[in-house]
Amino acid sequence: MPERRAVLAIAEGLHARPAALFVNLAAQQPVAVTIRKADGDPVPASSILSVMGLGAGPGDEVFLASDDAAAQPSLDALAQYLESAG
């Protein structure tokens, strides 16, 4: 199972607009992706309520994963968004 670590650089964290943009990007991927905080359970990256429920803030470490062996480009694209300023 491919996994990608990212450190959240978005000043607002994954709340409201940044979460919506992330979920939209996740929904565009050809594979299903989950996101979790280091100490939490994975949630669907394409679910706005689940993503906002993570409570991920700036500097938090999150992990993106997929059951699809070909998911690395999708994980990298999502991590790039999270590691940018939003």
- Give the pair of three-digit tokens for residue 75: 């994980």
Annotated catalytic sites, by residue?
Answer: 15
- Give the pair of three-digit tokens for residue 62: 């999150």
Question: What DSSP designation does 4 have?
Answer: E
**Please, are residues 4 and 64 in contact by the beta-carbon 8 Å criterion?**
yes
